[in-house]
Structure 1
């Protein structure tokens, strides 16, 4: 069987976890300031327009270098001042050119929630994210067996973190709902092929209890048109990275994506 991009990333994560456990000094180089931030759930509860989780993403396996020289603090403050509900920070170094330092610097600079966007397979990564200043972590159902997924979900909750649980198909959605997840991200990008299909969000949203959870549409949201599609599907928010990182007017684009909520939650 051909090794997928996700397989390669998870192999690297296993090596990184081993390194951290061997050398605890790698657990954290710089701690985030402990400031009280509104939760993403509470923020989305109050919105009448689509929430945007705006992402700091220097590179990706599918697109290569996107904006490697970006100043993450300046970009995060731009996002916050233009209405972002949360900031997502890629912390994977090898495949996305991110860092834990980016996460800490951003968390210390903004008052909105900050998502540690990484491929989490071990509790030590959650501890590291929390100490670095994250208020939300991502758990990718496709990357984890159910026992590990449950353990990591519970670990994050014990540390006071919110969890965005990412799914891509019906089976993964069932697993996320069985966890009791309140924030469910539907990745329109297949993590094995990295192809994007917005119909995935529409299809899975129809099977969600939208009055009980917040559904975030991830990947492929490039313009107001796609934002409206997400809103019409019942999404509370969208996660947007690459197009904001490349835009000459990220603030204006961010505003345009915050369309009125049209789905079942409105």
Structure 2
């Protein structure tokens, strides 16, 4: 499934490139105001921090929420304590768009993450041109040389990189490129099975100067507490927020 999602994202990027060239999107990216330093917003604190996600659908659960106004949802997240807003821009399975990202960026003052299946520089330039402060790189989707190349390219644009891992081997690949923001995703993107103890089993191998993000398997404040007790600095949450009262749910998470 991960390879299909990545291939689809690349095909969609190629289609956009027919209308907006690499040179044009690069110029738009370089014309943006400097990106916010997401590492400062997500730095370890005496409370858990939340990356709150604008997420309409997923391959594993199908439709989750219509989200006609992603900017309004992002405002709710920011007003209720989210440290960063994640925006799914993948259109085939997650029903997101770059327009969602642009709309969110225009409405919030916290960092914005482009969450997609990124495997080439053009997609990173698109993210910066749309106002993103962070991009996601999924270790499992990229050969090590390409992972390092894309990470370096994103950093050169002033972006923060959330490097997502799903295993011990992937974690050490992330550390090999000196990642400073590492996510451990409980959901296997090949099988979509959940391992709720994966984060706890790996966190001890993440250096203290790296921000630790627990991804997926967050249903309620108990799950947030579980991750916090294991050593998470940040949780990334989408489904639990978009399928509930987002303000109340987010507040309950931040009370952990």
TM band (smaller chain): over 0.9
Task: Confirm or deny that 1:217 pairs with 2:217.
Answer: no
Query: In 2, distance between residues paired with 1:34 and 1:256?
Result: 35
- After superposition, the C-alpha distances for 1:173-200 in whole angstroms (9 at most, x for unaligned) are 0000011100000100000111112101
Cα distance change on mapping 1:78 and 1:69 into 2, 3 Å: closer
What is the CA distance between 1:250 and its match in structure 2? 1.1
Query: In 2, distance between residues paired with 1:227 and 1:69?
Result: 24
Match for residue 170 of structure 1?
168
Query: In 2, distance between residues paired with 1:47 and 1:109?
Result: 25
What is the CA distance between 1:40 and its match in structure 2? 2.2
Q: Are the aligned partners of 2:119 and 2:142 in contact in 1 as well (CA < 8 Å)?
A: yes
Q: Are the aligned partners of 2:56 and 2:65 in contact in 1 as well (CA < 8 Å)?
A: yes
Match for residue 55 of structure 1?
53
Query: In 2, distance between residues paired with 1:142 and 1:71?
Result: 32
Cα distance change on mapping 1:157 and 1:10 into 2, 3 Å: same
Query: In 2, distance between residues paired with 1:78 and 1:14?
Result: 32
- RMSD in angstroms over aligned alpha carbons? 2.0
- After superposition, the C-alpha distances for 1:132-177 in whole angstroms (9 at most, x for unaligned) are 0000000000000000000000000000000000000000000000
Match for residue 15 of structure 2?
19
Cα distance change on mapping 1:93 and 1:39 into 2, 3 Å: same
Query: In 2, distance between residues paired with 1:100 and 1:18?
Result: 14
* TM-score for both structures, normalised by structure 2: 0.93
Cα distance change on mapping 1:257 and 1:58 into 2, 3 Å: same
Deviates more, 1:119-128 or 1:220-229: 220-229
Match for residue 161 of structure 1?
159
* TM-score for both structures, normalised by structure 1: 0.90
- After superposition, the C-alpha distances for 1:54-82 in whole angstroms (9 at most, x for unaligned) are 00001111111111243101100000000
| 2:117 aligned counterpart, secondary structure | coil
What is the CA distance between 1:35 and its match in structure 2? 5.1
Match for residue 137 of structure 2?
139
Cα distance change on mapping 1:196 and 1:32 into 2, 3 Å: farther
Query: In 2, distance between residues paired with 1:181 and 1:68?
Result: 34
Counterpart selection for 1:239 from 220, 223, 236: 236
Match for residue 263 of structure 1?
none
Counterpart selection for 1:230 from 227, 232, 235: 227
| 1:152 aligned counterpart, secondary structure | helix
Gaps of 5+ in 2: none
Gaps of 5+ in 1: 261-266
Q: Are the aligned partners of 2:221 and 2:253 in contact in 1 as well (CA < 8 Å)?
A: yes
Runs (4 or more) in structure 1 with deviation over 4 Å come to: 25-28, 30-38
Q: How many residues align?
A: 253
Query: In 2, distance between residues paired with 1:233 and 1:92?
Result: 31
Query: In 2, distance between residues paired with 1:71 and 1:105?
Result: 9
Match for residue 95 of structure 1?
93
